[in-house]
């Protein structure tokens, strides 16, 4: 995030001595893209290389579901059970080489610390609030927040308060869209949010206890455990441009028009070969002849996943809170029969949804198969989109 931040104590010049009680602190440059990207500089009580024991490495196992038929999909996630913690409880729905999309409803507090060493993370908090404890300080979060966590950030969710989250993980950088920024990184006047809407860590807490702590590192498509004999949050100060932050979806200023505005007007983040968009309550198209619902479109080289957060989604039938639709590449989609006619003259929408468009095909997990609602692909078939359940053919 191109905002300079500073917490705790740092020396007046980088790469110079900083001491605490006579102890020379260890400086760590925490940088992206070698030494050419954004970076922060952290000052540790203990060398961050210090490890008491290298634990087990566990490769990530993904059970893939390869449907026989290529079709639109609808997954029902409202009733998924709570399990695991805020990291181990993540259940992958779909993935490709650019992004992995998971749901998480944790049942227990995190014991170990976690660091994603091979990916940026964006966690959309549908339900819940709390504090993300990080090496950069405490980051409070609340319902509707996107929590943006740069790779390499050691963190732990502070408690086990009930949460329902949608988790995006990417080996590429997840950033604010480039077209929203000027040459200096500042968000432009036409951007739907401003730096003031970005919330960095509040308070840096420095821990000097010498007890044993486990850090789980995600790396090389697996999880590597390390045992430390000191608390990993031993930073007395840091400054720079890399840190976790939150942005609340309610602070996204929707862009409306006289006639229909296309999905890129809802873009919130850019990733490597994917985008994340926020569909927020807004006034609808005001031309007397406007059709406010999306036109049918063929995502010829992209896949479109939408997570429905709240409100009525006017262009979709049979969708409920927690629904996820996946409109895959190569086939068109649009409002079901009857919905366009019904929408004429409607002046506003209260929908809230998070969309991820990927530019490479997504693979599905067997966990997603268990949430699949098989009638969805045929919901354009009946004149009103409603087919008696007994007549719904089975989708392969
Ligand atoms: Fe679409």
- CA–centroid distance, 176 to ligand 1, in Å, is 22
276 plus 183 within the same structural domain? no
How much is the pLDDT for 383? 58
pTM: 0.95
- CA–centroid distance, 332 to ligand 1, in Å, is 8
**Domain of 213: which CATH number?**
2.60.120.10
Spans in the chain with pLDDT lower than 50: 387, 389-396
How much is the pLDDT for 287? 94
- CA–centroid distance, 333 to ligand 1, in Å, is 6
How much is the pLDDT for 384? 56
How much is the pLDDT for 2? 74
How much is the pLDDT for 386? 54
**Domain-terminating residue out of 221, 248, 275:** 248
- CA–centroid distance, 292 to ligand 1, in Å, is 14
Extract the tokens encoding 352.
């809230």
- CA–centroid distance, 352 to ligand 1, in Å, is 15
How much is the pLDDT for 396? 40
Tens-place pLDDT, residues 288-301: 999 988 889 987 88
- CA–centroid distance, 295 to ligand 1, in Å, is 8
List Cβ neighbours of 206 (8 Å cut-off, separation of 6 or more): 8, 45, 233, 234, 235, 236
**Domain-terminating residue out of 248, 268, 297:** 248
Strands lying side by side in the sheet with 113-116: 53-59, 222-228, 213-219, 113-116, 154-157, 130-134, 137-141
Domain coverage including residue 254? 250-391
Q: What DSSP line would sit under 235-250, residue for residue?
A: EEEEEES---EEEEGG
Output 149-152 pairs: Cβ under 8 A, ≥24 positions apart. Answer: 149/116, 149/120, 149/121, 149/122, 149/123, 149/244, 150/32, 150/120, 150/242, 150/243, 150/244, 151/32, 151/116, 151/117, 151/118, 151/119, 151/120, 151/121, 152/30, 152/115, 152/116, 152/117
How much is the pLDDT for 300? 87
- CA–centroid distance, 261 to ligand 1, in Å, is 12
Considering Cα of 380, then 386, then 389, then 390, what sign does the dihedral take?
negative
- CA–centroid distance, 298 to ligand 1, in Å, is 8
233 plus 298 within the same structural domain? no
How much is the pLDDT for 290? 92
**Domain-terminating residue out of 248, 280, 307:** 248
């Amino acid at each position: 995030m191109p905002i300079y931040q500073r917490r705790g104590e740092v020396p007046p010049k980088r790469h110079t001595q900083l001491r605490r009680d006579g102890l020379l602190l260890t400086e760590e440059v925490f940088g992206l893209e070698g030494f050419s990207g954004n970076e922060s500089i952290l000052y540790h009580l203990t060398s961050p290389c210090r490890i008491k024991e290298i634990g087990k490495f566990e490769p990530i196992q993904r059970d893939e579901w390869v449907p026989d038929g290529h079709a639109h999909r609808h997954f029902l996630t409202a009733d998924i059970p709570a399990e695991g913690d805020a990291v181990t409880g993540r259940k992958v729905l779909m993935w490709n080489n650019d992004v992995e999309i998971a749901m998480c409803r944790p049942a227990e507090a995190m014991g170990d610390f976690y660091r994603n060493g091979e990916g940026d993370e964006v966690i959309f908090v549908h339900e819940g609030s709390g504090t993300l404890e990080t090496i950069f300080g405490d980051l409070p979060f609340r319902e509707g927040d996107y929590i943006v966590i740069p790779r390499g950030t050691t963190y732990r969710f502070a408690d086990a308060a009930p949460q329902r989250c949608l988790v995006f993980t990417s080996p590429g950088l997840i950033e604010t869209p480039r077209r929203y920024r000027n040459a200096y990184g500042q968000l432009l006047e036409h951007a739907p949010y401003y730096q003031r809407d970005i919330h960095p860590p509040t308070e840096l807490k420095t821990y000097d206890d010498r007890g044993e702590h486990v850090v789980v590192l995600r790396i090389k498509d697996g999880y590597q455990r390390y045992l430390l004999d000191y608390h990993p949050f031993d930073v007395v100060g840091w400054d720079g441009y890399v840190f976790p932050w939150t942005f609340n979806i309610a602070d996204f200023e929707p862009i409306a028009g006289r006639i229909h505005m296309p999905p890129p007007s809802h873009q919130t983040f850019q990733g490597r070969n994917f985008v994340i968009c926020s569909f927020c309550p807004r006034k609808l198209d005001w031309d007397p002849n406007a059709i406010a619902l999306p036109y049918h479109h063929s995502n010829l080289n992209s896949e479109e996943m939408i997570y429905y957060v709240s409100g009525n989604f006017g262009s979709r039938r049979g969708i409920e809170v927690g629904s996820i639709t996946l409109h895959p590449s190569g086939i068109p989609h649009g409002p079901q029969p009857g919905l366009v006619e019904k929408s004429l003259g409607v002046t506003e929408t209260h929908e809230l949804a998070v969309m991820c468009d990927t530019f490479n095909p997504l693979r599905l997990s067997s966990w997603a198969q268990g949430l699949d609602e098989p009638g969805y692909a045929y919901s354009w078939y009946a004149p009103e989109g409603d087919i008696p359940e007994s007549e719904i053919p089975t989708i392969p």
